[in-house]
Every structure is written in C-alpha cells, then in structure tokens.
Amino acid sequence: MLVSAKEMLQKAKAGHYAVGQFNINNLEWTKCILLTAQECNSPVILGVSEGAGKYMCGYKTIVGMVNGMLEELNITVPVAIHLDHGSYEGCLKCIEAGFSSIMFDGSHYPIEENVAKTSELVKICAEKGMSLEAEVGAIGGEEDGVTGKGECADPNECKAIADLGVDMLAAGIGNIHGKYPENWAGLSFETLDAIQQLTGDMPLVLHGGSGIPEEMIKEAIDLGVAKINVNTECQLSFAAATREYIEAGKDLQGKGYDPRKLLAPGCEAIKATVKEKMELFGSINKA
Ligand SMILES: [Zn+2]
C-alpha cells in the first residue's frame, strides 16, 4: 500500500537498518522494484526525479501506474512514492498529484531561504499525511542540473532544518551522485556523527548510495542513516544485461526482438541489484 515514508524510516532508525530508495524510470523499473520488495518482505521507497517525472509523462501518470501495480501485483509491503531532489514548484505538483512523500532540495538556497521554504512545505505535508525530506549541504555530482562539490554539511544548519519538523534529513557527508571517482576520499563519519548527535532520532538519508563500499554503508547505518538512495547501480546492471543480450545476437533469434523478451534480462538484473541492496541495508523481512 502507498504510505508516507515517516513510519518506515522511524522504525528503520530505531532498528538500525535502512530502507532503500530506488529511482524509477519506466514501467519495467517500477514493476521489478515492487516485486522484489514484496518477495523480500521489505518496505521500499520509489524515487522519482523531476527529469524522470517528465520522461514518464508527469507525476499523475506515475501515481496512476504505481497504484495500479500495487493492486494488480498484490503488493502488501509499505511503499512510498517520493519526489527526489524536488524544486519548490515540483514539490507542490507532486503533492497535488498524490505522491506520498517529497524531498525539497533547498540546499542551493541561502540557509534562511531553505528554512522558509522548508517550513511552508512542513505545514502542507503534515496536513496531507505526507513525509518530507530536506537537504542541507549540496551533495556532489550531477543530478538533474543540481550540482555540488561533495561538501560536508554544517551540523548546526542540519539541526536548524531538522527542528522545522521534517521527517528525514539528507546531509552532504562527502557522498556524491553517479559513479564514484578513483580518488574519492570516502564518507566523513566525523560529520555524520556530529549531525546525528545534534539531530537525535531524525532519520538521516544517504544520497549517492551506488558504489559506496559495503563497510562504509554499514558504518553509516550505525551512525543513524535510515534511508539510502540507489539509482546508478540499477541503471548500470540494466544496461550491462541488455548489452549482453544484444551482443549475443539474441534479438535476432526467433522473436527475440519482442520488447518483452528484449527487456527481460535487464529486468532480472534490476531485481538482483535491488535484492542485494535490501540485504546489505538490512531491510529484508522488516515490512
Ligand atoms: Zn540525491
């Protein structure tokens, strides 16, 4: 069922595991992630960036598709549809369209403006029973035009935003989006620890979860991370499996060109990646 992410993340933080946010791009992605969550009896968050929202013909189309799947596939684990790195206007559109959760990325605004805009959204989300994620300190890499330099957030600014009544907080701790470069310095656990000490029970969010070494993921969960965003890894595994199918000439054999056959290996690859992440994050059987 479609729920806000609030309760699943509070449980995760208290239980020392994390819920995965897996970004969706189309029907196959959505179906594979939902089926894997159900099979693993795990809560799950479907992430939708503004770019992916446009690609999938708008937020209303996505809500309709997800609600249809929940019913037709008999999905009973908690599922949230969450806007990823939303602009203020994007957040309002998703609230209107029936999303159950949103992220307002005000990290590029001066802290006062981030506070003002986040406060307004806190009110609206509380009325609608939706969950809200805020961001402090830009997270590096490139995601739909939002860029940064892998900075570390100021723990005091994190506390100021957390105190506004958001449900989860993303903070830059040296993490970046996309593929990690060879010379990446790693996560700043010092920053993460300082943030957790000031924000208490607030579930923390780790963006750019693709490619962070497993030991670092586990330590981050120990230090209060309760939501981890995965996007690039599903894209890479989907692309690799599809490439293998085409390079083996399977699309030229029989009806191998049928999109339902052509996309099947990529779908299986997404499922395997999602399951692997759920195991690592510890969310299996936590639905
Ligand atoms: Zn992100």
Print burial letters for 207-240: b (CB count within 10 Å at least 16), e (below 16): bbbbbbeeeebbebbebbbbbbbbbbbbbebbee
Question: Cα(249) to centroid of ligand 1, in Å?
Answer: 36
Residue pLDDT, tens place only, 246-282? 999 999 999 999 999 999 999 999 999 999 999 999 9
Show which residues are catalytic: 84
CATH number at 6-281: 3.20.20.70
Paired residues of 173 in beta bridges? 152
pTM of the full predicted structure?
Answer: 0.95
Question: Cα(68) to centroid of ligand 1, in Å?
Answer: 27
Average pLDDT over residues 121-147: 82
Residue pLDDT, tens place only, 23-41? 999 999 999 999 999 999 9
Question: Cα(85) to centroid of ligand 1, in Å?
Answer: 6
Per-residue pLDDT at 149 exceeds 80 = no
Residue pLDDT, tens place only, 56-111? 999 999 999 999 999 999 999 999 999 999 999 999 999 999 999 999 998 888 88
CB 261, CB 255: distance < 8 Å: yes
